[in-house]
A and B are shown apart, each in its own frame.
Chain A
């Protein structure tokens, strides 16, 4: 490590570095600033060296984020110093510390000019750099001619000329008049003949700015630019230093193609032809290579070429070729290329001819929705929403979007759909609104968000929001006490808006009638104010809405704590007036409410809040199904419906006989108003063996709820959505412990409370599994409204058979579930279970033990084979994922090895020469089996840290598996997030050159 060469500066920097905390650092910095201030004030005779030292210190302090409000003069005055070292520091610090409007800068214009026109090249460069960075209008006026002279001079070195070009660009930005159009078009054209690549790059940047302002004036530069591109793409006369990983200056290529995009259209057939030849060469000649830097550079050029092709409105063939390339990019794993591919695909959609060819890539686009990087998902959603707006492919895009929605992306998707609603085609609005509402309900991260979404939906597309949608909001709000004040306040806000849709008046009227008394303390929400804001709409709304509003009025009146005589008079007058209303419903309500309200507060009970609704299936889903009848069966809506509902298999009190299922009875499922599609239960002739752990008769011991241990907050039970219905029924043991036990074995108890016992038995083969849930009623009364819905993670296909609505006393019901694992993921399915024990509704969510290790199978390899495979994975390309994991539960080596074995990894003792390392192999089954190699390097001195390496040909498997193993090791069996140290070296073999040395050093 080299020190700065200034002892005082180095000491100061290390002092600051050694400060334990921010306060100490601030104290040290303040001390230094005070010191510098005194030095500058008192000692007129500071040596140049001292001045330099202090000014650097100031810059360092400034960079750390402290205000440096003095010493600017000293920094600026150094510029005029005769000594090189001082001048240098003056220039550098001035351009960092001061901004263009600083008064002091004016003082040095002359000095700067002298340096620019002087003969000392280093001074010229320093001056040009400073002006190029912070030069303002005044510099522009006094320096432009001199800078121009340097740029076109033949005698100047390239070093000076390229800086002059960029300095001129800055001056031009500050004052466009400094470059006269007439003279400069020709000069620019001549400058483009330049052979020196550095100068050419700077000139090209200048040209971009000039052309952007006035493309017409610089037409003569087009052919020159094409020639530059020809020279670069053919690698003619390109010095070695200007190739980057073998590519002739990618920056100049990109810049030149960028310039060409500022010209509106290139019509000259000759130029066009040569340009297309160049572009064709770029498009054809680019293949992905292994070196990441080279790959970057070639793709930088390629993406720019794509943009230029789009800009030039090329022939259909070439466009299709571009779409093909983009299709390839969005399918690659390299995230940068994929990101830019998606972004450009979105731009490509603007070109009408290619929509059809883009359609072919939709499935690839879809996979990006699962990307862990949120930015990807947003771009992707944006892309799909744009697809929806294009008539030809919109239905499919909307379906895809709807079908791909899950908890991780629902918020983005729904918000994007809402945005799009206002501009969408009328034909598709109703469907959009309905789908947005369903997704919002299914995946709402919290209920207030759901209320927001629906109210916005009504606001933006009221005409297309059916009654079912707002009924559903009312149900949710009524059943959730916490939500009521929020919803009422929101509804009130919406009524304030200028044009309020009638549906909004309905829902707001209803909500405020029920719950506005919860807001009465808030400003603008007194009963009187709420009444008047609702009543403003009364005259203009339809009869059914009037009826709703009348009910709201009486509720507002009777719920208010103190009777406001003025309000009472108003409301009574309204009732009075409507006693003669034409419509019978309105008339009746008005008369009855008039009579009731005159009886005063004693009638409060009559007008109490509405009771909770019984839990019911969303009517929206039914509606969605209806609207889908004309669409093919595989439509996303249908699939989604199949996931959300289920079919019933009852095996009441019977044991399967002769390996064949008893008659399957489909039971109509309670209040559900959907006739659920039947999913045939796979019956491979092998039914589950009779289960012994469900001996209901024998073990009714856990019947006292008060003896049950409380469930910790980390437990999955705490998820119940309808919290008002969260029961007092507690499980008789720890749900987490049951779950953990089932992770290790394949049969056992999943859940048990005084009423029900849920057992589970599973069999696994390859990427398939069969789980049977045994639902046993331990009680003497039947369990009613039994519902079991499994929310499958995206990577799994689950075929669930239905559960009967009722489980008879002391009976057991089996519910088989077929699992197919499609892609690697650590997510696991969740069983959403509820039943009614005739006194209360009990609902809970349970994780199902369908964990990664269930799809793992130990693989034994010969040592030579193992090492060969390991080497193959080392690459290139490197397919080993490596991480230093800290905070590992300290285990003896043998136990760690056993732990790995319990995850179905076959340990290969002795394969690794280092006895502190554990290596093993396993096959992971998803759609295709993948062989995974695993190595754990332990540190005998520190058992809490290990290095974990996972290698598979498919890196997505490696990533998930690594995380999975990490989770097991860090906190067994589950819990705290694993901590990895960001500062630890990244895998060094992944990096080249300086990266590797950086990694090695720190």
Chain B
């Protein structure tokens, strides 16, 4: 299961934070901070998985991808495939890209509501709901018609 999806910039500012487990706001912010400090110290050529036992509980991992000024981070438990999630991040970004036409951090900042909706069309209740970028774009457009 996907426990959380976070998008933050390389300064650690959250741009999207969605938790699929019920956590207090304080705990959520603590996690955002810890995730950032965990990722910001990693070199570019390191692998994209980080054990997150200390951040999110036993047998959880961070799967992340670094695009320009943004980290896209999925927190997952042992039930998910790490590489599969990495692919899903790619789908997420490709979808944002086709919605915002060359997406950049500012698009995500000023349209965080739309970004939330895109994520809802990809992940629901911690499960993958759709992986087909065309289909996702269609449903988001329907919602924002």
Contacts and interface: CB of A to CB of B under 8 A. Distances in A.
Interface of A: 1-4, 9-10, 13-14, 17, 56, 59-60, 62-65, 67-68, 88-89, 92, 95-96, 99-101, 122, 125-126, 128-129, 132-134, 159, 162-163, 166-167, 169-170, 197-198, 201-202, 205, 208, 241-242, 244, 249-251, 254-255, 258, 293, 296-297, 299-300, 303-304, 335-336, 338-340, 372-373, 375-376, 959, 982-983, 985-986, 991, 993-995, 997-1002
A145 B112 CA distance: 34
A56 B144 CA distance: 14
A300 B127 contact: no
Given A9-B113, A63-B17, A251-B131, 7 more contacts: A1-B104, A4-B114, A132-B125, A166-B127, A201-B131, A293-B87, A993-B94
Given A994-B67, A997-B97, A244 B131 contact: yes
Given A170-B125, A999-B68, A303 B83 contact: yes
B61 to A, nearest CB: 10
Given A250-B84, A293-B87, A998-B103, A338 B47 contact: yes
A14 B105 CA distance: 13
Nearest to B20: A133
Given A92-B116, A198-B130, A65 B32 contact: yes
A304 B51 CA distance: 19
Given A63-B16, A67-B25, A241 B127 contact: no
Nearest to B49: A339
A994 B102 CA distance: 6
Contact of B102 (A62, A255, A336, A1001): A1001
Given A122-B142, A166-B125, A373 B103 contact: no
Interface of B: 10-11, 13-18, 20, 22-23, 25-26, 28-29, 32, 40, 42-51, 66-70, 79, 81-84, 86-88, 90-91, 93-94, 96-97, 100, 102-107, 109-114, 116-117, 120, 124-125, 127-135, 139, 142-143
Contact of B14 (A63, A163, A373): A63
17 contacts: A4-B111, A63-B17, A65-B14, A65-B32, A92-B113, A96-B18, A99-B23, A132-B125, A159-B135, A201-B131, A254-B81, A336-B86, A372-B45, A372-B46, A375-B47, A998-B103, A999-B68
A398 to B, nearest CB: 25
Best-surrounded residue of B81, B86, B107, B139 (most CB of chain A within 10 A): B81
B104 A1001 contact: yes
A254 B84 CA distance: 8
B68 A336 contact: no
Contact of B132 (A60, A241, A255, A373): A241
A167 B45 CA distance: 38
A997 B128 contact: no
A1 B110 contact: yes
Nearest to A304: B81
Contact of B25 (A62, A170, A242, A244): A62
A88 B143 contact: yes
Nearest to B50: A375
Contact of A1 (B14, B18, B90, B107): B107
A982 B40 contact: yes
Given A63-B14, A96-B18, A163 B129 contact: yes
Nearest to A65: B29
B103 to A, nearest CB: 6
Contacts of A303: 81, 83
A3 B130 contact: no
Contacts of B107: 1-2
Contact of A167 (B82, B104, B125): B125
A89 B113 CA distance: 9
Given A198-B135, A994-B94, A998-B103, A983 B69 contact: yes
B10 A129 contact: no
Contacts of A991: 67
B117 to A, nearest CB: 6
Contacts of A336: 47-49, 82-83, 86
Given A303-B83, A335-B46, A1002 B16 contact: no
Contact of B68 (A68, A254, A375, A1001): A1001
Contact of A340 (B18, B70, B83, B103): B83
Contact of A162 (B51, B94, B113, B129): B129
A258 to B, nearest CB: 7
A64 B32 CA distance: 10
Contact of B97 (A62, A88, A993, A1002): A993
A375 B46 CA distance: 9
A959 B45 contact: yes
A4 B129 CA distance: 25
Contacts of B86: 296, 300, 336
A1 to B, nearest CB: 5
Contacts of B87: 244, 250-251, 293, 296-297, 300
Q: Which 7 A-B pairs have the closest CB atoms?
A: A300-B83, A994-B97, A335-B47, A132-B125, A1001-B104, A997-B102, A65-B29
A521 B124 CA distance: 59
Contacts of B109: 13, 17
Contact of A372 (B43, B88, B94, B113): B43
Contact of B104 (A339, A993, A998): A998
Contacts of A299: 83
B125 A122 contact: no
Contacts of A304: 81, 84
A159 B120 CA distance: 13
B125 A994 contact: no
A1000 B104 CA distance: 9
A983 B90 CA distance: 20
Contact of A986 (B68, B90, B125, B133): B68
Contacts of B23: 99
Best-surrounded residue of A251, A254, A339, A375 (most CB of chain B within 10 A): A251
B124 A132 contact: yes
A336 to B, nearest CB: 5
A997 B103 contact: yes
B93 A994 contact: yes
